[in-house]
Amino acid sequence: MSGGYLKGRIRRDDIVSAAAAVYGEAGYHASSLREIAKRAGITHAGLLYHFPTKEALLAAVLERRDAEDAAREQLTAAPPGLDVLRRFIALAEHNVRHRGIVEVYSRLAAEAVSEDHPAHAYFARHYREARDSIAQSFHALAETGELRPGVDPDLAALTFIALMDGLQVQWLTTPTQVDTVGSLRLSLQTLLTVPLFPN
């Protein structure tokens, strides 16, 4: 019955995977529909049958990434507090084992600083949501005395997100010299009065 639709969904998924891989290697603007299509096993005109424009394909890549992240880490599900912070650390640990994911994200984020980039709104929203989520946790920790006195929760949240992103670029550039997870743990622990990972 829905055989045709199923095949279409699989094909679309292959294209999105190929696109994410190419974006990671070349960024969005420098990626060509022909290269993406070749990896998906079709022509570039065939790709445009599934995604009407280059931008529509980018949107599909970003949407799938959001869905995957949400499903894997349940970042927003936990109540504000230490657990949320631990889940962000877990996300960083996952990323170290999946360089491709980090490449796409880092490259697109840098391109999207321009207001006219098609992914600009996506990243502006992404940053705001991440900051809000982390800030809520720091505020909760402040109320229970688990945040070091004098630390501003909102500023600490901004700092944590910026640190995650900066570490990723530096890690991609010189992988052997960057301990992403160690740096995140150090920074977080320094802000707390209780152990982040009790022995």
Distance from C-alpha of 62 to C-alpha of 169, rounded to nearest angstrom: 19
Task: Give the one entry of DNA, a second copy, none that residue 109 binds, where binding means its C-beta sits below a cut-off of 5 to 8 angstroms depending on kind.
Answer: a second copy
Q: Which of residues 23 and 51 has its CB atom nearest to a second copy in the complex?
A: 23
| Type of residue at 96 | V
x/- map, 29-68, a second copy, by CB under 8 A: xx--------------------------------------
Q: Among DNA, a second copy, none, what binds residue 161 when CB lies within 5 to 8 Å by partner kind?
A: a second copy
CA distances from 48 to 23, 43, 108 (A): 17, 9, 21
User: In the structure encoding, which two tokens stand for residue 55, read together?
Assistant: 């931008």
99-111 and 54-73 helices cross at what angle (nearest 10)?
A: 130
* By CB under 7 A, residue 13 contacts DNA: no
Contacts with 112 (C-beta within 8 Å, 6 or more apart), sequence order:
119, 120, 122, 123
Convert residues 30-59 into a mask of x (bound to DNA by CB under 7 A) and - (unbound). -xxxxx-x---xxxxxx-xxx-xxxx----
- Decide if residue 191 touches a second copy (CB under 8 A): yes
For the bound state, the minimum distance from the C-beta of residue 27 to a second copy, rounded and expressed in Å, comes to 7
* Residue 54: closest CA among 68, 40, 34: 34
Q: Which residues bind DNA (CB under 7 A)?
A: 7-8, 11, 31-35, 37, 41-46, 48-50, 52-55
